[in-house]
Amino acid sequence: MIVPFLPSQKHRVHLQPIMDALPELGGEDIALVASYGSLVMAKRRGFRRIVLAQHGAGQSYGGDPRTARNAGYPGGDRNDGVGLFLCPNEYSAWRWQERYPEAMVRVVGCPRLDNLPRRQPTVAGRAVVAIAPHWHGYNCPEWASALNEYLPAFARLAYTLIGTGHPQRHDLPSRYADLGIEYVESFDEICRRADVLVSDNSSVLFEFAATGRNVVIINARQYRHDVHHGGRFWDWASIGPNVDDPAELADAVEVALAGPWPERELVLNEVYQPVRGGARLAAEAIVEWAI
């Protein structure tokens, strides 16, 4: 039997499509986890067969020795015990396989994408721009959020603004309220309502782009352009217009609203391999590994 570890809604939406696609499996119970924290929980409960399904875009921070082997990212330490890694792309798969050569590693895309809502028709009016900042990590500059730097520029945008953010952030409802920005907890609701999404460093950049709409990437001053982690920094940054100065934010949003960004689909095909059908591929990989 497959036992999913679902400590948060974020993990649930990534693992549930895989669970729905899986047939009944006999034999020893298998733990299906989506994060390092859940992996620790599964080990404590005595599971000996564990599948780790990468819940984001497969970002890691290998360009900085302080974060190159962080347990929460592809290629990180202390993920021993995982027998099967399910990865969104070849980049994350390579990092896991290099670190754990005896494990099975499969590239399956992102099962979450198949269930993401598209834009719902609304009465004509101002465009809706969504904000989705990352949490404020401190281990390397690229973990940090750009929100503080860009909040005043958001308040000056001449669009309807809604905001969400990383689940580890608990300050956003009050901070958005101070600027008259509606807080929306559900990313599905963001997908239903927004025309453009603006973010600094989050997998939702790529998930939103996969629904056929444009994104704007905001870069904080502390992001190092001469440090290459791969992924968002800087191989995938061309998925939408980049902003290095808050004064340029309004122009970038206008560009994103004007029509399809030319490099969006090219980057998506690097981030998600494939872009569709991830749940089925993940289920097939689990069955292959389990038997």
Q: What pLDDT, on a 0 to 100 scale, did the predictor assign at position 8?
A: 65
222 with 286, same domain: the answer is no
142 with 251, same domain: the answer is yes
Strand arrangement, sheet containing 50-53: 2-4, 30-33, 50-53, 82-87, 104-107
Can you tell me the distance from the alpha carbon of 218 to that of 237, in angstroms, rounded to the nearest whole number? 10
103 with 134, same domain: the answer is no
Q: Is residue 7 part of a domain?
A: yes
Per DSSP, the residues of 252-265 read: HHHHHHHS--TTHH
Q: Is residue 98 part of a domain?
A: yes
Look at the chain and report how many structural domains it folds into: 2
Q: Is residue 284 part of a domain?
A: yes
Element (H, E) at 56: none
216 with 285, same domain: the answer is no
**224: Cβ–Cβ under 8 A, 6 or more apart, which residues?**
141, 142
Q: Is residue 219 part of a domain?
A: yes
Residue 170 has pLDDT above 90, yes or no: no
pLDDT in tens, 25-39: 888 999 999 999 999
Q: Is residue 154 part of a domain?
A: yes
169 with 242, same domain: the answer is yes
141 with 253, same domain: the answer is yes
Q: Is residue 42 part of a domain?
A: yes
At residue 14 the predicted structure's pLDDT band, cuts being 50, 70 and 90, is confident
Can you tell me the distance from the alpha carbon of 198 to that of 56, in angstroms, rounded to the nearest whole number? 17
161 with 150, same domain: the answer is yes
180 with 259, same domain: the answer is yes
- Please report, for the domain that includes residue 264, its CATH number: 3.40.50.2000
Handedness of CA 267, 126, 172, 223 (dihedral sign): positive
Q: Is residue 118 part of a domain?
A: no
Cis peptide before 234 (omega within 30 of 0): yes
236 with 250, same domain: the answer is yes
Residue with structure tokens 């990437």?
Answer: 217
Q: What pLDDT, on a 0 to 100 scale, did the predictor assign at position 240?
A: 98
pLDDT in tens, 171-202: 999 999 999 999 999 999 999 999 999 999 99
106 with 180, same domain: the answer is no
pLDDT in tens, 202-259: 999 999 999 999 999 999 999 999 999 999 999 999 999 999 999 999 999 999 999 9
Q: What pLDDT, on a 0 to 100 scale, did the predictor assign at position 9?
A: 66
Q: What pLDDT, on a 0 to 100 scale, did the predictor assign at position 22?
A: 94
Strand duo 50-53 + 82-87: pairing: parallel
**101: Cβ–Cβ under 8 A, 6 or more apart, which residues?**
none
Q: Is residue 122 part of a domain?
A: no
Q: What pLDDT, on a 0 to 100 scale, did the predictor assign at position 37?
A: 92
106 with 181, same domain: the answer is no
Residue 278 has pLDDT above 70, yes or no: yes
Q: Which value, to the nearest 10 degrees, does the dihedral of the CA atoms of residues 4, 113, 189, 245 take?
A: 110
Handedness of CA 11, 17, 20, 25 (dihedral sign): negative
pLDDT in tens, 129-158: 999 999 877 789 999 999 999 999 999 999
Can you tell me the distance from the alpha carbon of 190 to that of 13, in angstroms, rounded to the nearest whole number? 15
Q: Give the structural domain span for 175.
A: 128-271
Q: What pLDDT, on a 0 to 100 scale, did the predictor assign at position 6?
A: 73
pLDDT in tens, 48-103: 999 999 988 999 999 999 999 999 999 999 999 999 999 999 999 999 999 999 99
Beta bridge partners of 199: 217
132 with 266, same domain: the answer is yes
